[in-house]
Amino acid sequence: MSQPPYAADLGLQLCHDCGQVCRLSDRDCPRCDAVLHRRKPNSIARTWALLVAALIFYLPANLLPVMFTDLFGHGSENTILSGVIEFWKGGSWDIALLIFIASVIVPCMKFFVLALLLVTAQRRSRWAMRERARLYRFIETIGYWSMLDVLVVALVAALVQFRTLSTIEPRLGILFFGLVVVLTMLASMSFDPRLIWDAERQDAR
Amino acid sequence: MSTDLATRPDAPDDAPLIICEHCDSVYRRPSLARRQSAHCQRCGALLERGRHLSTDQLLALSIAAAVLFLFANAFPVLSISLQGLSNEATLWQTVEALAQGRITLIALVTGLSIIFAPGLQIILLIWVLVHARSGRIAPGFRTCMRALEHLRPWSMLEVCLLGILVAIIKLAGMLDVHPGLGLWAMAMLTVLIILIGGRDIRDLWNELGVPSR
Ligand SMILES: [Zn+2]
Ligand SMILES: [Zn+2]
């Protein structure tokens, strides 16, 4: 079974904004005016920078409280993990698991997969290219579900506002956590999955 | 039904070319029926999907989405009561709850993901589709279509819907929680955005024959 040709070998490139097939010599897409790039510019350096920034912010996101709860005069602060544990102890193990997946497993998986993709692309590795391509598409689809905890905190803080009786307020940790989600989304957007396949081509990059 | 392009050499030789955005492979555009999709032989990514909805259907759903969007934003999504006191929250108040001092930045991100991105998607879709219906290219078509591409990843209504569910369960232990009219509107809106916010709209470039400059 023969493999299809690569666009660059035919003197072509893709417009990411409208899907138009353009010539390699075009600087802008003739159809939608978007700037064209054979590969996303500085993909590897940019993705590393965003990934490292996200990793750094992930520490305060987990160590600082994300929420302050005052119930009938009993004030307490919750981090993401202590919130999960509270759900677990309260018997809602399903919600505990859901938040744990969205807030811990999904971001950690994104860190790991992006680092793996970056290292293998830098080494021009030909190992498991199809599987790596699939991994990339997977983290692209699941990434934004990490916003779950930010939205939950926003909702309960908007609702529980009974001055003297009870209040819930967001805390600094949720800012860092939200930034982690945004940074990992930007990181996976700036990674160019075509770099995986460039290992097969001689003159690439 | 999924089709591997390698097993379908029936695309005519003069069919336009398409390029896989995930690996740069070049193919002839296959002609696909509804529910058919073509995947890249090299990397397995989705290349093309047979169109699900016609322009008229997309426009009708976009207008329905606009109405639901207004309801989802005008009415509270949840209300709670505690010892005779009650309180409710709309989507906007949810965003506002995060707009406090140092963390205000995250309110902007939240506002983008549950209000501005979906709202703008709906407006742009209606604008482009109203013109496309009569075969015209809307003024600013290029900008609108590119904006739709860039908004898509930031529109997160489905995550918000799950968040509301979690909030209900979280609060149900200590007080009474009631879903509001806004919640039902939002649930329906989420389904519509999934239907209309996808990449089907890209077909307009070819259907309207947008000229190259
Ligand atoms: Zn273009
Ligand atoms: Zn491909």
pLDDT digits (tens, 9 = 90+) for A106-154: 999 999 999 999 999 999 999 999 999 999 999 999 989 999 999 999 9
If asked whether residues A18 and A108 sit together in one domain, one would say no
Closest CA to B164 of A159, A82, A151, A77: A151
Do A15 and A78 lie in a common domain?
Answer: no
Q: What is the mean pLDDT of residues B66-77?
A: 97
Instruction: Tell me which chain B residues have a C-beta less than 8 angstroms from the C-beta of A150.
Output: 98, 106, 109-110
Rounded Cα distance, B129 and A189, in Å: 28
Q: CA A174, A175, A180 angle in degrees (round to 5)?
A: 95
Same-domain status, A18 and A115 = no
Domain regions of chain B by residue span: 2-49, 55-207
How far apart are the C-alpha atoms of B79 and A160, rounded to whole Å? 9
Contacts of B98 in chain A (CB under 8 A): 150, 153-154, 157, 170, 174
Q: A100 and A68 in one domain?
A: yes
Segment A159-172 shows an average pLDDT of 89
Residues in B 104-143 with any Cβ partner in A closer than 8 A = 105-107, 109-110, 113-114, 142
**Residue A116, phi then psi, degrees to nearest 5:** -60, -45
- The set of residues, in sequence order, having a beta carbon less than 8 Å from that of A166 and lying 6+ positions away, is A69, A70, A71, A72, A160, B82, B174
Nearest neighbour of A178 by CB, restricted to B102, B106, B142: B106
Name the domain count of chain A.
2
A18 in the same domain as A55:
no
Lowest mean pLDDT among A85-89, A149-153, B28-32: B28-32
Query: What's the pLDDT score for residue A203?
Result: 55
Cβ contacts of A92 within 8 Å, gap of 6 or more: B169
Residue A127 Cα distances to A137, A196, A201, B89, B98, angstroms: 17, 9, 14, 51, 45
Mean pLDDT, residues A68-90 taken together: 90
Q: Give yes or no: residues A164 and A74 share one domain.
A: yes
Rounded Cα distance between B47 and B24, Å, is 11
Q: Residues A45, A50, A56, A62: is their CA dihedral positive or negative?
A: negative
Cβ-contact A176, A64 below 8 angstroms: yes
Is B55-207 CATH 1.20.950?
no
pLDDT above 60 for A62: yes
Cα A179 to its chain centre, rounded Å, is 10
Of B166, B144, B159, the closest CA to residue B109 belongs to B159
> Quick one: pLDDT at residue A92?
86
Token readout for B68 is 């639901």
Residue-wise pLDDT for A139-149, tens only, equals 999 989 999 99
Model-level pTM?
A: 0.92
In one-letter notation, the amino acid at residue A18 is C
Residue type, B194: I
The torsion angles phi and psi of B35, rounded to 5 degrees, stand at 70, -5
Ligand in nearest proximity to the CA of B21: 2
CA-CA distance, B124 to B107, in Å (whole number)?
24
Q: How far is CA A177 from the centre of its chain?
A: 12
Contact A7 B110 (CB under 8 A): no
Q: Are residues A32 and A75 in the same domain?
A: no
Residues around ion ligand 1, judged by CB within 5 A, are A 15, 17-18, 20, 29, 31-32, 34
B91-108 pLDDT, tens digit each: 999 999 999 888 999 999
Q: Are residues A8 and A77 in the same domain?
A: no
Q: How far is B94 from chain A (nearest CA, A)?
A: 5
Q: Is B34 exposed, middle or buried (0-12, 13-18, 19+ CB in 10 A)?
A: exposed
The arithmetic mean of pLDDT across residues B159-164, rounded, is 96
CATH number of the structural domain spanning residue A185: 1.20.140
Residues paired with B26 in a beta bridge: B19
Domain that holds residue A189: 40-204
The Å distance, Cα A102 to ligand 1 centre, comes to 34
User: Would the CB atoms of A7 and B26 count as touching at under 8 Å?
Assistant: yes
**Interface contact A133, partner B, CB < 8 A:** yes
**Quick one: A47 and A31 in the same domain?**
no
- Whether residues A33 and A110 share a domain: the answer is no
Q: Which ligand is nearest to the CA of B40?
A: 2
- CB-based contact (8 Å) between B26 and chain A? yes
A31 and A46 co-located in one domain: no
Separation in Å, CA of B28 to nearest CA in chain A: 10
Q: Are residues A98 and A163 in the same domain?
A: yes
Dist. CA A193 → ligand 2 center (Å): 9
CB A13 within 8 A of CB A29: no
Stretch 147-176 of chain A: residues touching chain B, C-beta under 8 Å: 147-148, 150-162, 165-166, 169-172, 174-175
**Rg for chain B (alpha carbons), in Å?**
21
Ligand 1 centroid–CA A39 distance in Å is: 15
Pinpoint the alpha helices (H) of chain A.
Answer: 43-63, 80-89, 93-100, 106-122, 129-142, 148-159, 172-190, 194-198
* A26 touching chain B per CB within 8 A: no
What's the gap in Å between the CA of B158 and the closest CA on chain A? Answer: 9
- Quickly state the pLDDT bin for A168 (edges 50, 70, 90): very high
From residue B3, give the alpha-carbon distance in Å to each of A9, A40, A63, B198.
25, 29, 48, 20
